[in-house]
């Protein structure tokens, strides 16, 4: 936690699943999620600690979400990007997590960089 109560300035955030698995992710890669962006702003404890807990998302599912964050970050400016591999048996849970994190309506990259 930042000692002065201000936002953490680390380039990384820690995402924690319901079963206690922790994923350290590049902060900019998580910016595709409006939910996480909101958690990491202002006076929220997550903004001060750089740690977001998701008691409703299991480690298996959060791992796929983190994989997507990296996939999006790596390919955000590319065209003709291949689909990400998602196991069929996880699709419904991943859709639920994506809905919760607001990944169904991501803004254009320039809005993310401008801080919208």
> What is the predicted pLDDT for the residue at 111?
46
- Start-end of H helices in 1-58: 27-30, 34-39, 45-49
pTM assigned to the model: 0.82
> What is the predicted pLDDT for the residue at 82?
87
CA separation, residue 48 to residues 38, 89, 93, 115 (Å): 12, 36, 29, 18
CB 30 within 8 A of CB 69: yes
> What is the predicted pLDDT for the residue at 71?
93
Complete domains list, the chain, with CATH: 12-109 (3.30.710.10)
Per-residue pLDDT tens, the chain, 116 aa: give them: 444 555 678 999 999 999 999 999 999 999 999 999 999 998 889 999 999 999 999 999 999 999 999 999 999 888 888 888 889 999 999 999 999 999 876 554 444 444 54
> What is the predicted pLDDT for the residue at 58?
98
């Amino acid at each position: 936690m930042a000692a002065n109560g201000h936002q953490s300035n680390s380039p990384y955030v820690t995402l924690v699943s319901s079963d206690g698995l922790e994923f350290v992710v590049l902060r900019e890669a998580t910016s595709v999620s409006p939910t996480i962006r909101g958690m990491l702003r202002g006076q929220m404890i997550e903004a001060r600690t750089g740690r977001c807990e998701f008691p409703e998302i299991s480690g298996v599912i959060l791992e796929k979400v983190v994989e997507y964050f990296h996939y999006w970050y790596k390919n955000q400016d590319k065209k003709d990007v291949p689909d990400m591999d998602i196991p069929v048996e996880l699709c419904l849970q991943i859709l639920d997590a994506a809905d919760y994190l607001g990944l169904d309506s991501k803004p254009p990259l320039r809005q993310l960089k401008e801080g919208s």
